[in-house]
Structure 1
Amino acid sequence: MIREDVGDERFCILVDEVKDESNREQLAIILRFVNSCGILTECFFAIKSVSNITSLNLKNEISDILARHDLQLSKMRGQGYDGANNMRGTWNGLQALFLRDYPFAYYVHCFAHRLQLALISAAKDVSVIWEFFSHLDNVINIINSSSQCISELQNAQRKEIEHMLSIGERMYSATCNVLEYLKVHCSKASSRAEVRGAYRHFACFEFVFNLLLMHKIMRITDVLCQALQKKSLNILAVMRFVSTAKLILQELREEGWEVFLQEVKDFCSRHNIDILDLDSSYMIGRCRDETTVEHHYHFDVFNEAIDFVLMELSTRFNDKSVELFSLSVALDPRNSFESFNSDDICTLAKKFYPKDFSSQDICALEYELKYYVHEVIADQRFQVSTLVELCQELTNSGKSDTYIMITRLIRLVLTLPVSTATTERAFSAMKLLKTTLRNKMEDDFLADCMTLYIERELALTIDVNSVVDEFFVSKPRQVQV
């Protein structure tokens, strides 16, 4: 059914691998394409057990699966993977091997993974933030390894404590209570000393300042993170989301210090935490610095943390260095097609999609664009905010039959991958099915069962056990448990 839906359209592959319950490598393949109705679609297509994850072996496995369903690799116009070396390697990675044979199957590093790497870099390379997460990790480890006498308290609070950053202030007092309890009831003196040290860091102005700062930064980037996992997202929308996130962070840096500092003071007051004398000289070890405590927290912590996140976002989402993305902006319908540029659109088709546009097609595109300005851009029906909506509107209105070249180019740009979140959803569904007991089934049977379940799980239509029961009835002899 998916193959029929793809039809003769160009497509993109999203690929990732993960180890299953039996420690075998499983390869998931997702197809991204624009169907005949002009709807951008990401469909789970296959999951395959692979003997090794070398780039050459993965290329062969993917090629075999696509060939089996008569999906021609020559029509592949995009590859979406994470940042693993075997995937993104410039010379021998999977993307490089495909590009040698199919030079228009452009590789895009998963945008959600880029965001993750940006936040990890900020946590590691800004010293005060690294120290904060070290202390936070220590607190969580202490509570999770607590003795039997407080197991009920631990079980009641564990999940909330582990997600304290996303939950916010509500769990701070509860965590303090757990640590205070452990200070008295730990059986070993060394454990009590460790808890006292953790509590000393946890209930101080510096920790609270960093906690609230990271909470604010993570709340801003979480909106971007959720957006990057949507199936219908396209490259142009992603770059707008990234730009907006950077703008909000910049506003926080330039205008949010006074409000943020007051929030920290209020938090400390509510939880009986001593507020530092912000006008006093800042101490570095045993030496006094020329700057004040407020200056240190404002410029060396608040500004530095935000600056580093901004720098990482600018580096990892640098669309200006990628000409393909820059030219694609000319198709963006946002704000009444304010970015429209006929020359850029023709250059995009000519330079990046020569296999899809002959010289005659380019000539036809140039003349279509002249009419496009007066018939589409000026028409209120097409005043939409995303390229996905524009593609659907062109199809529904029948204009796609008139503006054949423009529609073709829009479909190609939409096909470019954004993130591999759909593969992660497939793996989540796989883990629900492929338990230790079910791993004792024959491989072929389990593969069929697993594929059916993942398809239905992603569609949210059926329960795992009903799928397994269906196979027990239809193929009882294949089950070895």
Structure 2
Amino acid sequence: MVLKFDCVVYMNMKKQSTIDEFFKRKHSSSTQDSKNPLEIVLDEDTPTPNVPIIENRFKKIVLKIMKLILNWKKVGGKNCAFLHHTGIECTSFHNVAQKSCDDLLNEAHDIQNVFETFTEEERTNNRLRLKATIYTVCLCAFQGIAYRGHDEGSDSINKGNFREILKGIGYFNIEMEELFRTAPKHALYTSPSIQKEILNLISTRVRRMICEEINGGKFCLVVDEARDQSNKEQMSIVLRFFNKDGFIMEHFFGLVHVPDTTSQTLKNAIYSVLSRNNLDLKSIRGQGYDGASNMRGHFKGLQALISTDCPYAYYVHCFAHRLQLALMAASQGVVALKKFFTRLSFVINVVGASSKRTDQLRDAQAEEIAYKTYVDELETGKGLNQIATLQRAGDT
């Protein structure tokens, strides 16, 4: 039994003594068609024949709601419960649910019907364009080159590696060139979002292959974090393990953005990556980090937190970081290098302490960029030749 209530219809008919005109009962049983719908609803104790139990429960709920309305003349007024439930705005729960129901029952909007409108030729052309995009994405990823260019406009001479490779494919294949030239704007499959989606699928497949190579065995973690060009803290994860042939393998496993570099945050990010890829945390047999306090701390460092959960995950100070510390200590004994970095720090302090000197430096940089651009020594494009502040020299 399904009851349908329309507030607008009732407000236009509220002078009537009964509500059977706008409570419409829809049920396949022909035996109940002769009964008044209002009588069926008000009959709380007698279950309706040929109606599921859940619909009889719904009948009781409707009865309780109807008993709350003592005066039917006030329906449609300021405090009308029906109008309050329906809502005036189109974003109300009732209107959203009604819109979802209408969309569900509308067969013309079914995704299957939308796909069936395409011809076999259109499907073939779309697959060819997508295959060309996938091949180009894989090629750029394998060669380790950038995808996008500084200017990808129609008038740009160099639109970046991705679009130039696609252009080269069309140059040697007239059919592919015609496919991309006549393709609709929504089916080019060359947007940055499509590139990222394909890259994400490739990375997922690579991680799955690494997990299959580990095959439930033991592995070691090599983790480091650094800040990228956009000042976001990124943590890289490398897995080191023995393969089935007994050779030591070391594979880059993922790059994770972390909001901060506290040991607890890094631990949660590492555990999340390993859990998503079905790697047992108890199988960790080694940890390799730098010598920062948040990494090697004996009590609250990352190695201490992981060692608590994995007693056999022994920590080893990264040998590359050890070499870096040794070179830094050795460079302090070279007089020329020590003087150079001392004077460099002095220049940065002098310029940064005065806004006037900072403005003079920026004006000088702008003049130099303008001159080199004029004599064609610098390329122009989006994001190029920006005037930046002086960066303090670091230990690395």
TM-score, L = length of structure 1 = 0.28
**Higher RCO (CA < 8 A, seq sep 6+):** 1
Q: Which has a greater percent of helix?
A: 1
**Structure number with larger C-alpha Rg:** 2
